[in-house]
Amino acid sequence: MTLQETRFAADAGAPVRPVPPRTNKPRRRFPAGAAVTVAVLGIFVFAPVYWVLVTALTPTNAVYEFPPRFWPRHVTLQHFTALVHTPVLLHYLINSLVVSIATAVLTVLVSAYTGYSFAKFRYRGRRSLMYLILASQMFPQAVLLITLYLVFSQVGLLNSYLALILSFTTFTLPLCVWMMKGFFDTIPDELIEAAKVDGAGQFAIIHRILLPVSLPGLVATGLFAFIRGWNDFIFALTLGGPDHLTLPPGLANHYIGEFETGWPELMAASLVVSLPVVIGFAVLQRYLVAGLTSGAVKG
Amino acid sequence: MSENISRRGLLKVLGVGAGAVAAGPLLAACAPSTSAPKPADSEAALKDDGVKEFAITSWAYNEANTKQPLQDEIDKYTAAHSGVKISTPSFPYNDYLNQLLLQVRGGTVVGAMQLDVAWLATLAATGKLVDLSSVAKGVDYTDAALALGKSNNVQYALPWTQAGIGILANQEIMTKAGITKAPATIDEFEQAMTAIKGQGVTPYAAMTKPDQLKDIIPWMWTFGAKLVEDGKITIGDEASVAAVTWYKKIYDLKYSAPDVNRVDARALFSQGKCCFYEDAISGKSTVIKSSPDKDLASKVTTIARPVAKSGDKPQHLAWGQVVAVFDGKGVAAAADFAKTITSETSYTTPWFTKAGLPPTTKSGLAAPDITGDKYSSDFAKNIAAYSTADPFWVYPQFSQMEVALAQAVQGILIGKTSVQDGLNAAKAQMTSLMS
């Protein structure tokens, strides 16, 4: 196989939606069991989102109505309009985006090279190293918080973006390395051999051949790391300091108090700041699905 | 070339994971020991080093109703003291203690800090708090308030606000039920609850979820239990068994409701679905804000906790906030700030009027703004005057001890165990946490 053929093969590996052949067969009906399953799963997934929306639209003095109402009696947008007067939320949102995107990029970079090494090379200590990386995932993350806090304090990294990015990357890497290894395992060695025959070096093989083919895996890995950075509470609260608070601790700081919690305001803020991420995921979801399932079937 | 995890490999990984989990308790050694190191002489520790920059770490700076009042106090103080710069790190109340302990370990915390009175012993055990007895000298703090700032008889903190956890009542529901005077004894309280039950509301939204079931403590006191005597837990004695038996009785009679914590109780009270519940002094503003009843403010009243027999002293759990100072740069400036905001009437009165938190000095309590506020006066008279510190607060593991007690009481309420067995188990668990 030449490099040209290799590229063709690589293109063939990209997630192209197959066009179903036209047939005269009647369309299969959606089985009732599947419909029920989807409905139950839909309720399971969307009921909390619905409740968040209802709470955000309910006037403050009706939020604690007992028993709670599934359909709000009165609807208000006051909690959404109040967000305009809460500029600190934009600050939290920017911090979250900076930290999550940087975590995703760093994780993808490191896990791609490490995963490639584990998948395509044989060397002494490789298996032990692989298991060691996997074992690090077994540690309760809260236990590592104290250690990380002390280390970052000693080296002057506390209260910085870097502290958050490094700590999040530390926790995402083990799984992401294994995800990328699984992805590279599915790429046939013949592709690499063909590239070598055409005179490509290791740098060209990984950057010009493998990484373009692995785009779904890279996106899936990046999204996983992004979610980790986006959702974290305790590390962001502890290591970031007041100027680098991300959304989870920022919202808790702003709306949850000793005596009262501004539930409707908190729900409205949560919905609004989630929108950019939801849109981003909607755009990238086909890569996420392809990337997560690519290593699932041994070919 | 694909390679999957072998069974042996997976077992190795799980072994490492199990080891990590097993190592968890070892990390508990990072927690402060039970005995605080003796602090340096107060005046020597507070010698002015000339540094005028310090922090006031708080949760007040996070919260809507206290952020601006605190900023006003800081602005006023810095305007009156040239060269002083005050930073305002803050953490949410629920994570505050853990964050502080971590910062103490990292050596990154300096200056003054707001503390819940329950946390003082835990922070004092780190050995980083300064003895403020020389600062408190000559200030007219009330004796009860000053005592809340002490741990092991050392004045580690200055009292900022002090009240108690007391019973709030809806006067309108009481009147409709034909109750013309506040129930003073447990018998009267039971009669009142029977009458209120007939109105179709929960008479007493007592805590029945473990997270706030420490509220059983003042009821145990009411029945004569001491809880701790000569450094030993006495839970499980006759008086504490009688208290929990009574608490279960009103639960079984549906005078209280299952699965209620403070948040649930406030929700029920704000909606007019219960007549009595227990809260700190700030509870009133919370329930009013979330109530559809615009007149609720005029209906909220406080009652002293009913006593076992006429003539007994009502019992309430103390609640309050103190300001402590960490050893380090700017310690004298931070201590002066702590003294100013907790004792000068020009600071304590606005703190009360804006944040609703009463002062701790005799002169502050005598200010017209405080004496003219009926709810606060009643709260002070009926509840704060009879409030006592939780006997477990002196132990750094107080939180786990309270959880052990709360879980035992919840088990008793739902009939999982007998009163005596449940309390005996709690006693054993709490005793093991004392050492």
What values do phi and psi take at B423, rounded to 5?
A: -70, -35
Q: How far is B83 from chain A (nearest CA, A)?
A: 23
Whether A107 and A52 share a structural domain = no
What is the Cα–Cα distance from B130 to B395, expressed in whole angstroms? Answer: 19
Structural tokens at position B281: 């002094």
- A154 domain-assigned: yes
What is the Cα–Cα distance from B112 to B54, expressed in whole angstroms? Answer: 7
What is the Cα–Cα distance from B359 to B347, expressed in whole angstroms? Answer: 9
Residue A64's pLDDT is: 80
Structural tokens at position B36: 């605080």
Whether A100 and A184 share a structural domain = yes
Residue B37's pLDDT is: 61
Record: contact A262-B286, CB cut-off 8 A: no
pLDDT in tens, A55-73: 999 998 888 877 788 888 8
Whether the ω angle into residue B368 lies within 30 degrees of 0, i.e. cis, is no
CB A65 within 8 A of CB B294: no
Residues of A in contact with B59 (CB under 8 A): 257-258
- The domains found in chain B, sorted by start residue, are 42-163+319-388 (3.40.190.10), 164-317+392-434 (3.40.190.10)
Residue B11's pLDDT is: 52
Q: In chain A, whose CA is at the least distance from the CA of B293?
A: A61
- A171 domain-assigned: yes
Q: How far is B274 from chain A (nearest CA, A)?
A: 11
What values do phi and psi take at A275, rounded to 5?
A: -55, -50
- A237 domain-assigned: yes
Element (H, E) at A246: none
Report which of residues A296 and A127 the model is more confident about: A127
Structural domains counted in chain A: 2
Helical axes A141-154 vs A161-185, angle rounded to 10°: 130
Whether A115 and A256 share a structural domain = yes
Q: Which of B219, B379, B180 has the alpha carbon at shortest distance from B312?
A: B219
Residue A254's pLDDT is: 87
Residues of A in contact with B86 (CB under 8 A): none
Whether A62 and A164 share a structural domain = no
Q: Which domain holds residue A255?
A: 86-294
**Residue A103 sits in a domain of what CATH number?**
1.10.3720.10
Q: Are strands B387-388 and B316-326 parallel, antiparallel or unpaired?
A: parallel
What is the Cα–Cα distance from B261 to B305, expressed in whole angstroms? Answer: 19
Residue B407's pLDDT is: 96
Structural tokens at position A150: 């002390």
Whether A190 and A69 share a structural domain = no
Record: contact A238-B99, CB cut-off 8 A: yes
pLDDT beneath 70, residues of chain B: 1-40
CB A237 within 8 A of CB A245: yes
Rounded to two decimals, the pTM is: 0.79
What is the Cα–Cα distance from B173 to B348, expressed in whole angstroms? Answer: 35
Structural tokens at position A40: 């139950």
- Tell which of A76, A103, A136 closes a domain: A76
Residue B25's pLDDT is: 41
Element (H, E) at A122: none
What is the Cα–Cα distance from B140 to A157, expressed in whole angstroms? Answer: 44
Whether A53 and A188 share a structural domain = no
- A194 domain-assigned: yes
Task: Calculate the alpha carbon distances from B372 to A200, A221, B375, B377, B384 in Å.
Answer: 87, 63, 9, 8, 17
The answer to whether the complex's ipTM is over 0.85 is no
CB B131 within 8 A of CB B39: yes
Residue B247's pLDDT is: 98
Cβ neighbours of B63 (radius 10 Å): 24
Whether A216 and A163 share a structural domain = yes
Residues 285-344 of chain B with CB under 8 A from chain A are 285-286, 289-292
pLDDT in tens, A135-185: 887 877 777 888 889 899 889 898 899 999 999 999 899 999 999 999 899
Whether A248 and A221 share a structural domain = yes
Mean pLDDT calculated for residue range A36-50: 92
Residues, chain B = 435
Q: Are strands B274-279 and B157-170 parallel, antiparallel or unpaired?
A: antiparallel
Q: Please say if the pLDDT value at position A298 is more than 70.
A: no
Task: For tokens 């709810």, name the residue.
Answer: B375
- A13 domain-assigned: no
Whether A99 and A41 share a structural domain = no
Residues 137-166 of chain A with CB under 8 A from chain B are 138-140, 143, 145-146, 149-150, 153, 158
What is the Cα–Cα distance from B113 to A299, expressed in whole angstroms? Answer: 61
Record: contact A139-B64, CB cut-off 8 A: no
- A19 domain-assigned: no
Q: Please say if the pLDDT value at position A17 is more than 60.
A: no
What is the Cα–Cα distance from B148 to A54, expressed in whole angstroms? Answer: 43
- A16 domain-assigned: no
Whether A279 and A143 share a structural domain = yes
Residue B68's pLDDT is: 93
Mean pLDDT calculated for residue range A86-96: 92
Q: Please say if the pLDDT value at position A197 is more than 60.
A: yes
Residue A24's pLDDT is: 64
Give residue A19's pLDDT band: very low, low, confident or very high (50, 70, 90). low
- A288 domain-assigned: yes
CB A10 within 8 A of CB A191: yes
Record: contact A135-B21, CB cut-off 8 A: no
pLDDT in tens, B305-315: 999 999 999 99
Residue B134's pLDDT is: 94
- Tell which of A15, A49, A76 closes a domain: A76
Record: contact B59-A298, CB cut-off 8 A: no
The DSSP output letter for B307 is B
Structural tokens at position A234: 């305790």
CB B345 within 8 A of CB B364: yes
What is the Cα–Cα distance from B104 to B122, expressed in whole angstroms? Answer: 12
Whether A131 and A277 share a structural domain = yes
Residue B21's pLDDT is: 44
Q: Please say if the pLDDT value at position A133 is more than 90.
A: no
Whether A262 and A158 share a structural domain = yes
Residue B94's pLDDT is: 87
